Chains A and B, each alone.
Chain A
Amino acid sequence: EVQLVESGGGLVQPGRSLRLSCAASGFTFDDYAMHWVRQAPGKGLEWVSGISWNSGSIGYADSVKGRFTISRDNAKNSLYLQMNSLRAEDTALYYCAKCGRRFLESAFDIWGQGTMVTVSS
């Protein structure tokens, strides 16, 4: 079964850091680009960051550029999101999503269930 399982969310104070992980199974992880997408409570979907199959292409939303870093470990079938200098507006459910192809621009054909990040003092 193709599956994505996120972890690492929680309650964190403004200005602190958090690292999210996404464990992939049921498919050849290093054949596909991967992304992080977030959804604030009661709001729509917002793209956060994406990484190509070999980490050769990486993109970030303007709202997180310079604060968040995406990475992947193909040997461990895992995707990561290092989040620094967190702000209240980063509070959201963070989804890991698999692309249908190796490159960033293809559609997300598999989504995880998400991990909640709450930034509050």
Chain B
Amino acid sequence: SYVLTQPPSVSVAPGQTARITCGGNNIGSKSVHWYQQKPGQAPVLVVYDDSDRPSGIPERFSGSNSGNTATLTISRVEAGDEADYYCQVWDSSSDHPLVFGGGTKLTVL
């Protein structure tokens, strides 16, 4: 089945920009979705279809996708952004079509 690779952890100081990557074979040809999960809470969709934001998600959250890497970018990082972030795609060619990345722990220093 399709594999998505995320770095286990990313650290950033408040006010700086965090970039979380999601690697996959020709991932640029697929739609990538990103979820934020804080401890003890259900995941929340923060970016869908590579770069669209659901209503209520700050403009500080943005996404891009090209080649073999998709990226979630969080600008002007705040303490409240500290969470686990997961990328997700649908691979229609696979018997196991829906895949999540392993997750990235964002730490705000």
Contact = CB atoms under 8 A, between A and B. Distances in A.
A111 B33 contact: no
Given A45-B86, A46-B100, A107 B95 contact: no
Contacts, number: 60
A105 B90 contact: yes
Given A47-B98, A62-B95, A95-B42, A109 B35 contact: no
B23 interface: no
B1 A62 contact: yes
A108 interface: yes
Contacts of A46: 100
B44 interface: yes
B51 interface: no
Interface of A: 35, 37, 44-47, 50, 59, 61-62, 95, 100, 104-109, 111-114
Contacts of A35: 98
B61 interface: no
A120 B1 CA distance: 29
Chain B interface residue number, banded: 20 to 34
Interface in B70-109: 84, 86, 88, 90, 92, 95-103
A111 B43 CA distance: 7
A100 B37 CA distance: 19
Given A109-B54, A112-B42, A104 B86 contact: no
B99 A47 contact: yes
A46 B43 CA distance: 12
Contact of A44 (B42, B97, B103): B103
A72 B33 CA distance: 24
Contacts of B37: 45
Nearest to B52: A107
A33 to B, nearest CB: 11
Given A45-B86, A111-B42, A111-B43, A104 B48 contact: no
B100 A47 contact: yes
